[in-house]
Amino acid sequence: YQYLSRYKRKKDLDHFLFIPERTEGTEEECLKLLLEFCGRRNPSWTELSNFTHFLNFQLSKCEKSVFCSPAVGKDFQGF
* List of E strands, the chain: none
∠ at Cα 33 (27, 35), nearest 5°? 100
pLDDT tens digits, 31-75: 999 999 999 999 999 999 999 999 999 988 887 877 776 666 666
Question: At residue 76, does pLDDT exceed 90?
Answer: no
Task: Express the helix, strand and coil content of the chain in percent, nearest 5 each.
Answer: 60, 0, 40
pLDDT band at 1 (very low <50, low <70, confident <90, very high): confident
Q: How far apart are CA 48 and CA 42, in angstroms?
A: 10
- Return the pLDDT at 52: 94
Q: Which residue has the higher pLDDT, 47 or 25?
A: 47
- Return the pLDDT at 20: 67
